[in-house]
Structure 1
Amino acid sequence: MSEGAPSPWTPDSWKSKPIKQDVIYDDASELETVLSRVTNMPPLVSSPEIDRLREQLKDVAEGRAFLLQGGDCAESFDYCNPQAIEDKLKILLQMSLVLVWGMRMPVVRIARMAGQYAKPRSSAYEKTSDGKTILSYRGDNVNGIDPENRKPDPQRLLAAYFHSAATVNYVRLLLAGGFADLHRPEAWDLGHVRNTDIRKEYQTIVNRLTDSLGFMGTIGATEDKATALNTVDLYMSHEALLLDYEQALTRSVAKPLPTNRAKCSATYEPSTPPRDTLAPELCDWYNLSAHFIWIGDRTRQLNGAHIEYFRGVKNPIGVKVGPTMEAEELVRVLDILDPLLESGRVTLITRYGADKIAQYLPAHIAAVQKTQHKPVWCCDPCHGNTTTAPSGHKTRSFEAIVSEITSNITIHLELGSRLSGVHLELTGEHVTECTGGSQELSHSDLPTNYQTFCDPRLNYEQSLDIAFTIAKVFEYERQSSK
């Protein structure tokens, strides 16, 4: 990183930087035609919604709220159906209520959905079972899971936009129609919990939640349909991997001053500087494809295209932090992405593995503590704990996932810091992709309902298990500090 003032930023200044995980299309003119269409499409989310999330993540960073982020590793266009969306929404709502009870603080909910269609890969190619070398599957917005459909297709970017729009629209309809009432604990079925002691423990928590909500109903505290018990904020997120697509949905928005409105255009011509009529100092640039976007562990190079793009958008942003991230490098990333030292501007999504967290997390926390940055510290306990079962299925151990979360909490406390959130790959369906949990799934259970075409996800029951576990840990911490 060069010293001195940063170079001017525009939505396409990332093109001057080296890029990782790029997609090469055979027909450049078709790509430009598709991107032009996306550029002229309505935004998927609004800048006021993004600003509201910014304020809520500030509360998370300063210890007044907790972040729950979860969803599929990589969405399929097929997931854009009512049942799949409802299942995912239901588990996030129920998990958040358990966390609210255990922590006695608000929970900010961010879903990995409505845009999580691209997938970084360690290799551009893979081999089929018959020994053929083909392009790797890069996600539904790039190519198909079918080995015969691996050619990158620009039209899939347009399909990704419409599937995202349909998902966002249905989530809005559900929440406006009272779907959030599904987080009432009396509607929960704990019959999946095989261990009797654990079932009793969970039931105790559910009973306490029921009593609390019943009391509030008795005194009339739940009669107002605008209360947090009847409506929630749910934000959308994805890894912003394909920068051409992200740029197409990046729009300038006037800062909230009446005199700015006539001076700030909402259009942008790629590959040219902002026009004088834009009055850049009076405008902010928002990525309106999602409320929250993040940089993956494979694309966070200091002088890379993704860091360059992310530094200019107003959205709150995430950065995946793994064992290969040096402590000094982490600070430099924060300096680039958070030059104004805004609390909650950056969420550090740490992903080490249960056996590596003690080796790397303390140094990362200590390095950030020496600065004035106030990021959200969020634990991704899934990515570092992926293994292969004897059957050949890619899987994750529930016990390892819990171990990384609890170790994270402990290490933060020991260093005078605080874990502020969790980032989970999960589904609301009853799949069998991860072992363990209250269902006591074993390797032999994996073939029963193994559905993922990417990484293994926590199922509905295991996701609830995670929420109960975190709630109990924080409740114990709270009781111990009295």
Structure 2
Amino acid sequence: MHAPAAPAPEPSGTARADSRPGPRTPATVAAQRPGPDEPARVRGELALLPPLVAATECDRLRDRLAAVARGEAFLLHGGGCAETSAGPTADAVVGRLATLLQMAVTLSYGAGVPVIKAGRMSGRYAEPPSQPEETRDGATLPVYRGGAAGGTEPTVGARRPDAAGLLRAYTASAGVLNLIRSYVTGGPADLHEVHNWSRGFIESPAGRRYERLADEILRALRFIRASGAAPAELRTAEFFVSHEGLLPDFEEPLTRRDERTGAPHATSGHLLWIGERARALDGAHVTYAARIANPVAVELGPDTRPDEVLGYLDRLDPRREPGRLTFVVRAGADRVRDVLPPLVQRARAEGARVGWVCDPVHGDTLAGIGPGTRRFDDVLAEAHGFFDVHRALGTHAGGLHIELSRDDVTERPGGGSGTGEQHLPRRNEAARAPGLNRAQSLELAFAVAEMMRN
């Protein structure tokens, strides 16, 4: 167990609470008409609601990420983009969980390393827009900023900020967490169900390859059983949730002090990350992340400078503790080999043990085709570049951060699923940015497992 974070000033809205997670059924919040006191009322109500995750769970993830930073484990971090205020459907949550479990078992069995599983789920209700406004049918509207900040409908009323959306986000998060906990502990995540995770999976070379891998795993499990050992750990899966901590009015009321240590934790999720557009060293998001004891991550884009890496280390990981800080690199396939080495070298020169994670989905988008569209070949190329850099430097390529879908969406043309650019208008499910479809996700996992073996 790591040492607790240094004492920090009490965040605004911080309340003491025990470390138990939130209720097993979602909270029901009555709709309120917005008024001048609405934001303060909503923050007050959030401060009285149970924490969504436990401080002990956050600390456990920090321990797991310490193994990643030491080169002993690999982080698989995936899920959807911005969630709507109504929350994702049960089918969407279960589908993404099944895909992540398929990817994790492919990586772990193929490369022989423990895989830490975390979902971009239960809290992704805000999205940093690239522009403040958009034009629809000749009308200028505020852009969609996520389910906690308004609706997807192209009307002024739907896009107007609504503080009650934070309460809807809490309710949706609690519901998703309940479903995740039931899935990973109630039987469906049992490793003996490895074939069932691909039920309804679209036919593809990656899908057929996965079925062969599943057969190998079941033969290995039969051998373990026959030898008299049947570890209980095979019956469940450890799974964590994370989101980008964009909304202070949501995060601050759900910041609670752990009764064991006195350290403040964000109880809205196990890991919070700071996005590329919100990572100003003197900004509110970095300031908040510095106060909490959770593990935190920072996205580093293609223009990141080595001195910025030093700044994040000093602000967010002054003790240089493995597991505290993770860097998620999204440099682009054509730039990762140039951008990444000086960043890794600067962190190593400072004696920092951070996790280095590749986000190959968000760069090199295709202009004029679809929102955030990127060729799957570019996704693979960036992952290859990321692993090549770490191999050359003798450092650990610690993880993969992706957006994915449970279905055969077509936002990422290419790969063995046969998705081409001509299919792009057919399926596009994300409220904002798109992700990999199921066949592409699995194909990426097989490719990364091979990179890890090398």
Partner of 2:172: 163
Separation (CA, whole Å) in 1 of partners of 2:399 and 2:225: 30
Larger radius of gyration: 1
Contact map agreement 1:238 1:292 (CA 8 A) in 2: yes
1:176 paired with 2:155, answer no
Separation (CA, whole Å) in 2 of partners of 1:430 and 1:121: 26
1:139-189 CA distances to partner (integer Å, 9 max, x unpaired)?
010011111111000010000000001110111122221110267443446
1:96 paired with 2:87, answer no
Partner of 2:140: 133
* Segments of 4+ moved more than 4 angstroms: 189-195, 198-204
Amino acid at match of 1:250: T
Separation (CA, whole Å) in 1 of partners of 2:312 and 2:144: 29
Contact map agreement 2:68 2:398 (CA 8 A) in 1: yes
Identity %: 36
1:331 paired with 2:310, answer yes
Q: Give the paired residue count.
A: 428
Contact map agreement 2:363 2:374 (CA 8 A) in 1: no
Contact map agreement 1:94 1:183 (CA 8 A) in 2: no
Partner of 2:452: 474
1:247 paired with 2:226, answer no
Q: Secondary structure at the match of 1:180?
A: coil
1:346 paired with 2:316, answer no
Partner of 2:150: 143
1:74-118 CA distances to partner (integer Å, 9 max, x unpaired)?
112444332111111111111111111122121111100000110
Residues 89, 220 of structure 1: alpha-carbon distance in 2 compared, 3 angstrom cutoff = farther
1:105-134 CA distances to partner (integer Å, 9 max, x unpaired)?
211111000001100012211111x22211
TM-score by length of 1: 0.84
| Mapping 1:42-53, distance limit 5 Å | 42-53=50-61
Separation (CA, whole Å) in 2 of partners of 1:348 and 1:71: 18
Deviation (angstroms), 1:34: 0.6
Separation (CA, whole Å) in 2 of partners of 1:381 and 1:471: 15
| Mapping 1:183-198, distance limit 5 Å | 184-187=193-196, 188=198, 192=202, 194=204
Deviation (angstroms), 1:205: 3.6
Separation (CA, whole Å) in 1 of partners of 2:181 and 2:201: 31
Partner of 2:21: none
Partner of 2:80: 72
Match of 1:235 among 231, 236, 240: 240
Contact map agreement 1:121 1:136 (CA 8 A) in 2: yes
Contact map agreement 1:121 1:138 (CA 8 A) in 2: yes
Deviation (angstroms), 1:386: 2.2
Q: Secondary structure at the match of 2:327?
A: strand
Residues 109, 194 of structure 1: alpha-carbon distance in 2 compared, 3 angstrom cutoff = closer
Q: Secondary structure at the match of 2:78?
A: strand
Separation (CA, whole Å) in 2 of partners of 1:202 and 1:383: 26
Residues 113, 189 of structure 1: alpha-carbon distance in 2 compared, 3 angstrom cutoff = closer
Contact map agreement 1:71 1:426 (CA 8 A) in 2: yes
Partner of 1:370: 349
| Mapping 1:169-318, distance limit 5 Å | 169-181=178-190, 184-187=193-196, 188=198, 192=202, 194=204, 204-222=212-230, 224=231, 226-227=232-233, 229-255=234-260, 283-318=262-297
Partner of 1:453: 431
| Mapping 1:52-67, distance limit 5 Å | 52-67=60-75
Amino acid at match of 2:146: G
Contact map agreement 2:43 2:250 (CA 8 A) in 1: yes
Contact map agreement 2:202 2:408 (CA 8 A) in 1: no
Separation (CA, whole Å) in 2 of partners of 1:202 and 1:253: 42
Deviation (angstroms), 1:254: 2.5
Deviation (angstroms), 1:388: 3.4
Amino acid at match of 1:56: R
Amino acid at match of 1:290: G
Amino acid at match of 1:447: P
Match of 2:132 among 120, 124, 142: 124
Separation (CA, whole Å) in 2 of partners of 1:44 and 1:219: 41
Partner of 1:263: none
Separation (CA, whole Å) in 1 of partners of 2:192 and 2:126: 30
Separation (CA, whole Å) in 1 of partners of 2:11 and 2:304: 26
Q: Once superposed, what is the RMSD of the aligned Cα atoms?
A: 2.4
Amino acid at match of 1:422: L
Separation (CA, whole Å) in 2 of partners of 1:190 and 1:212: 24
Contact map agreement 1:79 1:85 (CA 8 A) in 2: no
Deviation (angstroms), 1:446: 1.8
Separation (CA, whole Å) in 1 of partners of 2:62 and 2:7: 25
Gaps of 5+ in 1: 1-5, 14-25, 257-282, 478-482
Amino acid at match of 2:45: R
Deviation (angstroms), 1:299: 1.1
Separation (CA, whole Å) in 1 of partners of 2:122 and 2:201: 31
1:51-75 CA distances to partner (integer Å, 9 max, x unpaired)?
1111111111101111000001211
Match of 1:360 among 339, 342, 367: 339
Deviation (angstroms), 1:309: 0.6
1:192-249 CA distances to partner (integer Å, 9 max, x unpaired)?
4555xx6775555444333322322332433x5x22x211111010000011210010
Amino acid at match of 2:448: I
Q: Secondary structure at the match of 1:179?
A: coil
Residues 373, 398 of structure 1: alpha-carbon distance in 2 compared, 3 angstrom cutoff = same
Partner of 2:404: 426
Separation (CA, whole Å) in 2 of partners of 1:414 and 1:40: 51
